[in-house]
């Protein structure tokens, strides 16, 4: 068995890599002395992948929105009972989630790891689909969609994405709509499963005190498919650089207005270049509206923001945007104050000393996250499908320059690409 080792001596971390002949990549991040073990089985397939060309075909396949999430739910129902119950009986804590770009199945445990790992490898490769169970699941997910429609924080977020994007499917609810899931049937589910759950589009990751040889031997003997396959061609609509709408508003039964705002960013980054831009924008958000900034202090003391205030940056190969939000009695005033501060910084320039302080702080926070098998697993999956490894962040923090961050500041914080979503009281 050919096993490759990627070593990060400055972090005292290693990644053991095994490439299965089917095209599946398996990884082990050993954490000696840790009692908890974390295993993940993930596919590079999320809610945005509703148009694609199946390998070996020429025509575009279009499927209903929400099908990736639907399929995730269905894999937990097996002919011999619920997978969740089986994991619980083995003392594990299982979970799964569908995002915009990935679907992930996972469990953590301290005992009986081998039995739990075998269960994970088995059920993800064995979809059990019947017309009756699909119809039952349609009702369950329909209720879930309706429930989220009543959540102000969910509505303000997707309204914000709808304000940013004209055509990108990231603006569509991950679970789809009542109408879209009504079109999902067994044939369509199997089409998506056979396309995106092929091993060549998936990875297995184990983080914890385990033997890499043992893990890879289990993978070798468990993967049913033996042949690799060409890459799936994912189809996305043309997306203008402009925002769709600069302001959207919705009335709901909330006591305090909620808001999400931010800037639409350029796409097309991959690998370490993507990580570098992510780190730069994250640092800039901390510099502009972080808790140590003058603007945050001013907005908080004036009662314009509270403890719900937060920010983030989402970047994938095909789309990217920053997110700033929370509760506020006057979201428009918050937007205008942030916009004014950005204009002020553009006139005066970024503060190099603040950049250096934030850089040290962010790097320290990254290092602390490496003490958690959950954090390593979560970031590993997300970053790997973008063409990098989680430990590459260390090199990014080490080499990122003030000049580069200043360049990204002028590029990303374009007020013409600023959008605001508000949910206000009825």
Q: What is the pLDDT of residue 80?
A: 86
Element (H, E) at 415: none
Question: Are both 215 and 270 inside the same structural domain?
Answer: no
Question: Are both 228 and 155 inside the same structural domain?
Answer: yes
Q: What is the pLDDT of residue 1?
A: 81
**Which of residues 175, 202, 234 is at a domain's end?**
234
Mean pLDDT of 97-101: 98
Question: Are both 190 and 263 inside the same structural domain?
Answer: no
Report if residue 331 sits inside a domain: yes
CA-angle at 286, arms to 355 and 155, nearest 5°: 160
Question: Are both 272 and 154 inside the same structural domain?
Answer: no
Question: Are both 202 and 295 inside the same structural domain?
Answer: no
Question: Are both 294 and 377 inside the same structural domain?
Answer: yes
Report if residue 241 sits inside a domain: no
The tokens for 317 are: 């190969």
pTM for the predicted model, two decimal places: 0.95
How many domains, in total, are found in the chain? 2
Question: Are both 353 and 214 inside the same structural domain?
Answer: no
pLDDT tens readout for residues 164-207: 999 999 999 999 999 999 999 999 999 999 999 999 999 999 99
Mean pLDDT of 131-152: 95
Q: What is the pLDDT of residue 190?
A: 97
> Starting at the edge strand that comes first in sequence, how are the strands of the sheet with 310-315 ordered?
247-252, 418-425, 258-263, 320-327, 310-315
Beta pairing class for 233-234 and 51-53: antiparallel
pLDDT tens readout for residues 275-294: 999 999 999 999 999 999 99
Identify whether the C-beta of residue 66 lies closer than 8 Å to the C-beta of residue 181.
yes
Report if residue 242 sits inside a domain: no
The tokens for 20 are: 């299965």
Question: Are both 348 and 327 inside the same structural domain?
Answer: yes
Neighbour count for residue 180 (Cβ, 10 Å): 19
pLDDT tens readout for residues 328-373: 999 999 999 999 999 999 999 999 999 999 999 999 999 999 999 9
> What is the percent of the chain where pLDDT is above 90?
98
Report if residue 239 sits inside a domain: no
pLDDT of residue 81 exceeding 90, the answer is no
Give the C-alpha separation, 23 to 228, whole Å.
5
Question: Counting every residue, how long is the chain?
Answer: 426
Mean pLDDT of 12-25: 97
The boundaries of the domain holding residue 94 are 3-234
Measured torsion, CA atoms of residues 299, 301, 305, 308, in degrees rounded to the nearest 10: 130
pLDDT tens readout for residues 363-406: 999 999 999 999 999 999 999 999 999 999 999 999 999 999 99
**What is the domain-level CATH number for residue 402?**
3.30.830.10
Q: What is the pLDDT of residue 403?
A: 98
Question: Are both 210 and 350 inside the same structural domain?
Answer: no
pLDDT of residue 16 exceeding 90, the answer is yes
Nearest to 121 by CA among 45, 220, 196: 220
Mean pLDDT for the chain?
A: 97
Q: What is the pLDDT of residue 226?
A: 86
**Which of residues 207, 234, 261 is at a domain's end?**
234
Report if residue 240 sits inside a domain: no
Q: What is the pLDDT of residue 9?
A: 96
Give the C-alpha separation, 339 to 337, whole Å.
5
Residue 89 annotated in active site? no
The catalytic residue among 72, 276, 316, 327 is 72
Categorize the per-residue pLDDT at 236 as very low, low, confident or very high, splitting at 50, 70 and 90: very high
């Amino acid at each position: 068995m050919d096993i490759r080792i990627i070593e990060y001596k400055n972090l005292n971390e290693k990644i053991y890599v095994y490439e299965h002949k089917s095209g599946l990549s398996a990884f082990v991040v050993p954490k000696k002395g840790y009692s908890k073990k974390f295993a993940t089985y993930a596919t590079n397939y999320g809610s945005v992948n509703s148009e694609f060309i199946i390998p070996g075909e020429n025509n575009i396949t279009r499927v209903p929105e929400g099908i990736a999430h639907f399929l995730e739910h269905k894999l937990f129902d097996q002919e011999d009972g619920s997978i969740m119950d089986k994991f619980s009986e083995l003392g594990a804590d299982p979970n799964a989630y569908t995002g915009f770009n990935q679907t992930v199945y996972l469990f953590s445990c301290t005992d009986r790891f081998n039995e739990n790992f075998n269960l994970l490898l088995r059920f993800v490769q064995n979809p059990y689909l019947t017309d009756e169970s699909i119809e039952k699941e349609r009702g369950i997910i329909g209720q879930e969609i309706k429930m989220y429609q009543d959540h102000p924080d969910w509505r303000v977020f997707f309204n914000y994405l709808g304000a940013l994007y004209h055509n990108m499917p990231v603006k569509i609810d991950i679970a789809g709509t009542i109408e879209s899931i009504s079109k999902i049937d067994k044939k369509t589910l199997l089409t998506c499963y056979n396309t995106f759950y092929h091993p060549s589009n998936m990875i297995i990751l184990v983080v914890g005190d385990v033997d890499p040889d043992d893990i890879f031997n289990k993978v070798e003997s468990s993967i049913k498919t033996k042949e690799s396959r060409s890459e799936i061609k994912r189809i996305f609509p043309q997306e203008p650089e402009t925002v769709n709408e600069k302001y959207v508003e919705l009335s709901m039964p909330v006591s305090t207005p909620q808001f999400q705002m931010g800037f639409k960013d350029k796409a097309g980054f991959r690998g370490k270049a993507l990580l570098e831009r992510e780190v730069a924008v994250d640092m800039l958000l901390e510099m502009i509206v972080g808790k140590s900034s003058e603007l945050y202090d001013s907005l908080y003391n004036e009662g314009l923001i509270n403890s719900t205030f937060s920010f983030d940056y989402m970047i994938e190969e095909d789309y990217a945007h920053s997110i700033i939000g929370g509760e506020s009695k006057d979201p428009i005033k918050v937007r205008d104050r942030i916009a004014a501060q950005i204009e002020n910084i553009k006139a005066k320039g970024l503060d190099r000393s603040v950049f250096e302080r934030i850089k040290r702080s962010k790097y320290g926070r990254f290092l602390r996250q490496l003490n958690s098998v959950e954090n390593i697993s979560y970031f590993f999956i997300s970053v790997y499908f973008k063409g990098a490894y989680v430990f590459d962040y260390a090199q990014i923090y080490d080499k990122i320059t003030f000049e580069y961050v200043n360049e990204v500041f002028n590029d990303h914080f374009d007020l013409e690409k600023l959008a605001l979503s508000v949910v206000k009281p009825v």
